[in-house]
Amino acid sequence: MLLPDPSPVTDLIEAFRRSKIMFAAVTLGVFDRLHDAPARATDLASAGGANADALERLLDACCMLGLLEKAGGVYRNAAVAETYLVSTSPNTLTGYVQYSDSMLYPIWGNLVNGIREGSHQWKTTFGFDAPIFSHFFRTEEAMRSFLLGMHGFGQLTSPRVAAAFDLSRFRRMVDLGGATGHLTIAACEHYPGLRGVVFDLAGPAQMAREKAALSAARDRIEVVEGDFFTDELPEADLFALGRILHDWSDDKIDRLLRRVFDRLPEGGGVLLAEQILNDDGVGPPWANLQSVNMLLITEGRERTFDEYRRILERVGFSSVEGRKTGSTLDAILAIKTSQ
């Protein structure tokens, strides 16, 4: 009897090992040190206070993963690591790597419990009741590191989201929970007639000011501090919500979208950027994985386009369209029109 190819199973058995190799290399500062200059394992071990033999094994594993290159016993960053795993890179993802290592990796250890209970695992894993972000943002350094990681993701996805629909008819976009402003920046750079507002809490808002100041569209971008659940929303004919709705339960989504709907003029719109599940709920892979992640760390989940359409229509929006962007975030545009 010919047995099925076991690689789908064996690859998954080893998948967490690959992640932890990258996580450990980031934590040990390997990519930052090799950004300064190529080096041998003994030199890196001496500089980082590590065991030389153990570190060499880690470095060789990073080479196997395509993160490092090795020649004559000297290691250097591969291009992908130089771009995304060096902390000073403008495209760095190291903040999200560290968040994944220190917060997500432990909480995923309680996945079985989360499935049985159908709820997040903050208290089981860390012993606190507040949302996981409150704990992770307990220091300014942790908050900035995480937001820089999300900014790196945003630079990959936001230009595609901004271009998914023709938004040239809109004049003022307010990005609710806009974090570092990557979606606002991408939209304003793509549409020269658009003015943008990043609306978020004080910590992210300060980082948004820093990032907006670097944009060619900086004169058309402002940053306003506030809580989109409780504070008055700025005036706009287009609101954007990027990776916001997937954090919340249906009742909180309804409350937020009704605030947006009531604030919009006739003909105004709302632009959503989310990981949209296929119609049958299976795939794309990043959306399924993120939906399970949302179970463990938030009140929310990922949804299909039809589920988002029904939510938007329930609060009064019409002309709901969805577009695949070719990135890990897709786009939905809904319009406020008279029925």
pLDDT in tens, 273-282: 999 999 999 9
What is the pLDDT averaged over residues 202-226? 96
pLDDT at residue number 290: 96
> How long is the chain?
339
Q: How far apart are CA 95 and CA 85, in angstroms?
A: 9
Q: How far apart are CA 264 and CA 336, in angstroms?
A: 7
Strands of the sheet containing 39-40, edge to edge, are 39-40, 74-77, 68-71
Please list, in sequence order, all residues whose beta carbon lies within 8 angstroms of the beta carbon of residue 31, skipping any fewer than 6 positions away.
Answer: 25, 67, 77, 81, 82, 85, 86, 87, 94
What is the pLDDT averaged over residues 193-219? 96
Structure tokens at 136: 């992770």
pLDDT in tens, 116-165: 999 999 889 988 776 666 666 778 888 888 888 889 899 999 999 999 99
Q: How far apart are CA 336 and CA 236, in angstroms?
A: 12
DSSP label at residue 164: S
Question: CA–CA distance from 54 to each of 14, 33, 43 (Å)?
Answer: 19, 17, 13
| Residue linked to tokens 């080096």 | 39
Pairing of strands 318-323, 195-200: unpaired
pLDDT at residue number 265: 97
Q: What percent of the chain has pLDDT over 90?
A: 87
Q: What percent of the chain has pLDDT over 70?
A: 98
Nearest 5°: CA angle at 216, between 214 and 218? 70
Residue 310 clears pLDDT 90, i.e. is over it = yes
What is the pLDDT averaged over residues 65-84? 98
Runs of H (alpha helix) within the chain = 7-27, 30-36, 41-48, 52-64, 79-84, 94-99, 105-108, 111-117, 122-126, 132-136, 140-163, 182-190, 202-212, 250-263, 285-297, 305-314
Residue 28 clears pLDDT 70, i.e. is over it = yes
pLDDT at residue number 136: 63
pLDDT in tens, 292-302: 999 999 989 99
In three-state secondary structure terms, 333 is: strand
pLDDT in tens, 154-191: 999 999 999 999 999 999 999 999 999 999 999 999 99
Structure tokens at 324: 């695949």
Active site residue 246: yes
pLDDT at residue number 130: 66
For the chain, which domains are there? 7-84 (1.10.10.10), 140-335 (3.40.50.150)
Comparing 142-151, 230-239, 254-263, the range with the smallest average pLDDT is 142-151
Please give the helix or strand (H or E) that residue 199 lies within, else none. strand 195-200
Q: Are 306 and 324 in contact (CB under 8 A)?
A: no
What is the chain's mean pLDDT, rounded? 95
pLDDT at residue number 311: 97
Residue 235 clears pLDDT 90, i.e. is over it = yes
Residue 336 clears pLDDT 80, i.e. is over it = yes
Q: Which of 273, 258, 283, 286 is nearest to 333 (CA)?
A: 273
| Residue linked to tokens 């890196």 | 44
Q: How far apart are CA 269 and CA 303, in angstroms?
A: 20
